[in-house]
Structures are given as C-alpha cells and as structure tokens.
Amino acid sequence: MSARRPAAVIVLAAGEGTRMKSRRSKVLHELCGRSMLGHVLAAARELEPQRLIVVVGHRREQVIEHLAEHAPQAEPVVQERQGGTGHAVRTVLEQVGTLSGTVVVTNGDHPLLRGETLAELVRTHEREGNAATVLTTEVPDPTGYGRILRGPDGAVTAIVEHKDADEAQRAVREINVGMYAFDGELLEAALKQVTTDNAGGEEYLTDVPAILRGQGHRIGAFTAPDWVEMQGVNDRVQLAQARRLLNERIVEAHMRAGATVVDPATTWIDVDVVTEPDVVIHPNTQLHGRTRLEEGAEVGPNATLTDTVVGAGAVVSNTVADRAEIGPEASVGPFAYLRPGTRLARKAKAGTYVEMKNAVVGEGAKVPHLTYVGDAEIGQGSNIGAGSVFVNYDGVRKHRTVVGDHVRVGSDNMLVAPVRIGDGAYTAAGSVIVSDVPPGAMAVARGRQRNIEGWVERKRPGTPAAEAARRAAGRRADESDAGGDAGA
Ligand code: UD1
Ligand code: CA
C-alpha cells in the first residue's frame, strides 16, 4: 500500500548548530556527496508532497542559496527568531496558510533518514486515522532526546524533553526521533496552545501530541526497527559516524547490484554514483559526484574519481580524475591525473605520470609515460613518446595542438601550440616542434650531434671520467691488435 501524497513536508533547519563550531550552516555540512539537508530533502521528496517547505533562520542566506541550486522546488520560510520547534512550525503555518491533510514535519539534521521510513510513518498515520503520529525508536543511550511516554494500554500519551524529564522518565529508552505526521488543521489549532512553560523556555512541537490527546484525538507511533538510521548529527564526530554508516549502506547497495568491492572499509561512494555489474573496485577508492563505472570496469587501488565516466572493461589504477570520460577498454595509470575535458576513446591509454586536460585521445592512441597533454586532440592509433609536453600556454593565452591519426611523436618532444602534426607523420626524439608537420613527414627539430674526440682527457684530466676514457681507449687498441670481434 502506498501512502497518499501528503499536503506538505516541513523540514526544520533554522537552528544554530553551535556544536559544529562552523561558519557554515550545520545542515549544509556534507556527507557522501550531498548536504545533510539534501539527504533529508531526498527522503522527503520520495513522499511526493504537494509542498516541500524548509524553515530557515541561522545563516539563512547560505541555506536559501543552497536550496535554489539543489532543490528549487523547496520553499524556504524564514523564522526570524528561533523560538523552538513548535514556534518554527507555527511560523510556517502563519506564512503559508492552513494546510489540510497530512503534514509531515522532520528535523533537518538526520541525514541517514530513508524515504521508505517516512512513507511507513505516513502509512501508519493514515491507516490508523491518527491526529498525530510520532516516529520513535529505542536507543541504547537516550540522553538528550525527548522520551516517549505511553499509557497502561501502550498508547502514546506525551513526549517529555530530556531537560524536563524526571528520573523515571529518563530511564525510558524509546525516544522521539524528531519526525511526525500530523493532521494539518488539528496541528495548526494545537500549536496555538503550546506555551513556553518548560526548561528550554521554547515552544516545543513535542507538546502537540499531548494537547491533541487531551482534546480526545488519537495519537499513534511508528517505531522504527533500525535506530541507527534515526541518529541526528549535532557535531563533527557524529557527522563522521553518520558518513561511515551512510557509506556502508551505499557500498552495500552497489555490491548487491553486482559490483565487487574488495575493501568496503576504504571505499567511499557518493549517493549519485552509478555502477554496472561486474565492475571491480579496489581498496582506497573514492567515487564522487556523478561518476559512472560501466560493465566490467576495474578501478583502483587509490583512485579518486569525480564526475567521471569509466567505460566498459576499462582499467583505472592509482589515478585522480575530474570530469573525464574514459572510453571502453581504455587504460589509465598507474599515477595519472585526468583533468576536466579529458576524453579517451576506446582502448586509448593514459599511462604512468601522465597529466591530461581538455584533451581528446582517439581510439587506440597511447600516451604511455611522463607526459603532459593540454588543450589537444590526438588521432586514432597515434603514440606519444615518453617525456613529451604539449606546450599549450604562451604565458598569456592557451593554444591547441592537433595530432593526426597513426602519428609517432618521438620521446622528449615539446609540441609548441598552436601546431598540427599530419596523419601518419613521425617526429624525432628530442624535437621541439614549433611549426606544422605535413602528413607522412619525419620532423627533426634539434641540433645535429657533434662528438669532440678526446675532450675529457684534455679538459678534465685526472678525473674518474678521464681514467675511464683512457681505459676504454686502451681496450680498443688491444682489440684492434688482436684483430678480433669487438662485440661479445
Ligand atoms: C528535538 C526534539 C526532541 C527529539 C530530538 C531529536 C523538540 C522540542 N525536541 O530536540 O524531542 O528527541 O529533536 O533529534 O522538538 N529548529 C528550528 N527552529 C527552532 C528550533 C529548532 O528550525 O526554533 C530546528 C533545528 O534546526 C533542528 C530541529 O529543529 O533541525 C531540532 O531542533 P533542536 O534544537 O536540535 O532540537 P533537539 O534539542 O535536538
Ligand atoms: Ca538536534
């Protein structure tokens, strides 16, 4: 049974979050590629609410900007003064008007929350015809949380905040998670009766269930079996714990979908990453943003890929890549750095100590060793010799280099852009190529070699080099005396 679309989900995110000790709004701290608030909104969106409302207050400019960028359908409502969770919801209803039907309220600092759990809360609420339904769970250590009080028949009677609880109440391990489903109109009426007569001096949303019960309405609870999912984040220690838990959940989902993850403990995968079956992820690999690994791709160890596509059967080891496209069966690394705009076609290679930026490498083309390729195009089947540099920057502007198909660039070349090397051309090792090379030509751009015989014995007498040279000269003389072969 699927829940009906709630009238609204209201996310509370106006609090200060002092324990984060941050200039950044607490709910904007990130884990697994999304802000805390973003995770809560993703869960909320699964309910397909008619309105998605976010209460903002502290550092609201940051939160409003974040919403505009990442969740444009969310409506920010400003709570000028943080008068408590009840005050926050009251502020919303005063600004947006009466919400008829089911209204879900959730704290903004519970990044592990799953949409399915909220849906279960709403289903329970509507099935039982409750005025309010509280999401609860049992935790080993309930310190700080609001406790759930139940009557002799097991029905929820009230929520008492930790600060206001007596000894017996503090022993209760069933807590208020901070998520609720309400009847919108009853919620609005009850909020008018909430006082600040409590230890926090705030309007508590948690007073609403007892108020409604006092009026003879039905209060229910949905008790979530997995308390781990229900943990809130108040400081950076809890943020790290939540990140690890969320990562475990994500990595597990990829494994169940057919990815081999050699070491889940050192593999970090953001929420929006996609993997296809039979990919292999080696230890110490981080997959960020919208990275996608296609069937059978092998990544790591020690790879950090951001918004990068790895084609089917490609191998990427010890590599950092950002916004790169690695074609099927391509080979990258070990120790490669692919920067934005790098596109390797099928079976292309970016090898060891190779850096690329804004570079398109054709099918089967290879850049195997110690090379920088910037602002360039390399045609299919070409090979770039070890230690070459695509010299793209004249100190003021960047220029392009175009290397044709089946070109052989020699080792240690400088290709000074703008420059074109025609199809099938060769360049000699050690060349500095400053002008275009026609197709099929051999370009040699270096000084002709000159050997000055006897220079070391004349200019560096007495050095080990001079001694070695003299010994070599002696051997050569003996060999020619003997008339034998010089080689072994
Ligand atoms: C709240 C609950 C508590 C529950 C706990 C779960 C109340 C009174 N208590 O306590 O029963 O066990 O959450 O984590 O609700 N906020 C606003 N405006 C405000 C005050 C708070 O938007 O004026 C937001 C905060 O940004 C936060 C959420 O509401 O996202 C909860 O507020 P917080 O102060 O953290 O409440 P807790 O003390 O954790
Ligand atoms: Ca809290």
Q: Hey, how many other C-beta atoms are within 10 angstroms of the C-beta on 199? A: 11
pLDDT score at 478: 87
- Asked whether residue 316 carries a pLDDT value surpassing 90, the answer given is yes
pTM of the predicted structure, to 2 decimals: 0.92
In 3D space, the residue among 317, 361, 363, 356 whose CA is nearest the CA of residue 340 turns out to be 356
What is the arithmetic mean of pLDDT over 181-201? 97
Can you give the length of the chain in residues? 488
- Asked whether residue 117 carries a pLDDT value surpassing 50, the answer given is yes
pLDDT score at 487: 45
- Asked whether residue 259 carries a pLDDT value surpassing 80, the answer given is yes
- Asked whether residue 486 carries a pLDDT value surpassing 50, the answer given is no
Which two tokens mark 233? 């984040």
Å from CA of 140 to ligand 2 middle: 17
**Does 339 belong to an annotated binding site?**
yes
What is the distance between the alpha carbons of residues 364 and 199, in angstroms, rounded to a whole number?
A: 71
| pLDDT-based confidence at residue 483 (cuts at 50, 70, 90) | low
In 3D space, the residue among 393, 371, 400 whose CA is nearest the CA of residue 383 turns out to be 371
Which pLDDT tens digit goes with each residue over 23-35? 999 999 999 999 9
User: What are the residue ranges spanned by the domains of the chain?
Assistant: 8-230, 236-443
Nearest atom of ligand 1 to the alpha carbon of 175 = 12
Does the Cβ of 161 fall within 6 Å of ligand 1?
A: yes
**Residues flanking ion ligand 2, Cβ below 5 Å:** 232
What is the arithmetic mean of pLDDT over 73-77? 98
Residue 331: phi and psi, rounded to 5, are -130, 130
Catalytic residues: 369
Which pLDDT tens digit goes with each residue over 402-440? 999 999 999 999 999 999 999 999 999 999 999 999 999
Report DSSP state, residue 207: G
| Residues contacting residue 381 through CB under 8 Å, at least 6 positions apart | 362, 363, 364, 365, 405, 406
What is the distance between the alpha carbons of residues 159 and 259, in angstroms, rounded to a whole number?
A: 44
Q: Which CATH number does the domain 8-230 belong to among 3.40.50.150, 3.90.550.10, 3.20.19.10, 1.25.40.10? A: 3.90.550.10
What is the pLDDT of the chain when averaged over all its residues?
96
Ligand nearest to the CA of 139: 1
Residue from 85, 92, 180 whose mutation best tests the ligand 1 pocket (most atoms within 8 A of CB): 85
Q: Is the torsion defined by CA of 28, 31, 33, 37 positive or negative?
A: negative
CATH of domain 236-443: 2.160.10.10
Looking at this protein, which amino acid is placed at residue 108? Answer: G
| Residues contacting residue 343 through CB under 8 Å, at least 6 positions apart | 324, 325, 327, 359, 360, 361
Are 311 and 293 a contacting pair, CB within 8 Å? no
Ligand nearest to the CA of 201: 1
What is the arithmetic mean of pLDDT over 52-59? 97
What is the arithmetic mean of pLDDT over 73-96? 97
Are 268 and 286 a contacting pair, CB within 8 Å? yes
Angle between helices 184-191 and 85-96 (to 10 degrees): 120
Does the Cβ of 291 fall within 6 Å of ligand 1?
A: no
